[in-house]
Amino acid sequence: MIRLKNAKQIDGIRKSCKMLSAMYRELIPLVKTGVETIDLDHWVRRWIKQAGGRSAFLGYGPGDNPYPAALCVSINEEVIHGIPSKRKIAEGDLVSLDCGIDLGGFVSDQALTVEAGRVSEAARKLNRVTRECLHRGLGAVKAGDRLLQIARAVEGHAKPAGFSVVTRYCGHGVGFDLHEDPQVPNSPHGANPRMSPGLVIAVEPMVNLGKGDVDLLEDGWTVVSADRKLSAHWEHTVAIVENRTEILTDELAL
C-alpha cells in the first residue's frame, strides 16, 4: 500500500534529507585513495549521532542478518549494499556511497558515486550517464502521470549510451520507513500506479558497464554485477508537493 504524506510529514522528511545531504558534503572529500572504507562508516556514525539523527541503515533487515553499518560502500563491480571493511580505496576506483537518516521518525535516502583519483574513460562515462539517468528519472516524476514513466526515462538514456540498468533491485517509496511501496523500477516492468500529491519516493538508477544481471554475495548483502564489470549508482529522495515536484535531497558537487 502506498502511504501518501501530508505537508507536515513531507516537511519532516525534507529536514531529514537536508541533514543527509549536509553529511555528504563533509563526507565526499574524505573518499580518497588509501582510505579504509570502515573509517568512512565510523565517521558517518559519529556525524549522524552528533547531528541528532539515527542511522536508517544500521541494523536494518532480517533479524538473523541485519545490515552491520551506517553506510553502504560499493566499489567498482559492487552495485549496492557493499559492507565497509578494512579494504582500502585504490586509485581509479568507482566508489558508490548510499546512506539514510532517521530524524524523529522521518527517513531520508541518497546515493552517489565518487571517482577516486584518475578513473578510466569508461568509468567516467558510466558515472556521468548514470547521474544523467537519475535526472531523467526525476524529470518524469509528475502528479497524474504513471510511475513507469520514470523507468522509461532511465532506461531510455542508459541503453543508447551502451549501458544496462539493473532490474533485480530498484527505487522505492520512503519517508516513514526506509523501504515502502511503491517499487520504482529502472526498466518499465511491473505495477504502474498513477503518481499523486503526497507521494515520496527514492529514484535510484543502478547502471552497469556490461550486462544488467547481478549476483548476491555470501554475506547476504553485497550485490555485484554478474560479469564483474563496473557499476554506478545515484539516488535522490523526491516528493510531489501539491502539483509540483520537489527534490528533497540536495544536488552535490563532486
pTM of the entire structure?
A: 0.97
Q: What is the pLDDT of residues 126-166, one digit of tens each?
A: 999 999 999 999 999 999 999 999 999 999 999 999 999 99
Query: Which residue reads 541503515 in cell numbers?
Result: 57
| Euclidean distance between CA atoms 41 and 23, whole angstroms | 12
Q: What is the pLDDT of residues 193-227, one digit of tens each?
A: 999 999 999 999 999 999 999 999 999 999 999 99
- Please give the class, per CATH, of domain 7-247: alpha beta
Exposure string (b/e) for 15-40, b if CB count within 10 Å is 16 or more?
Answer: bbbbbbbebbeebeeebeeebebbeb
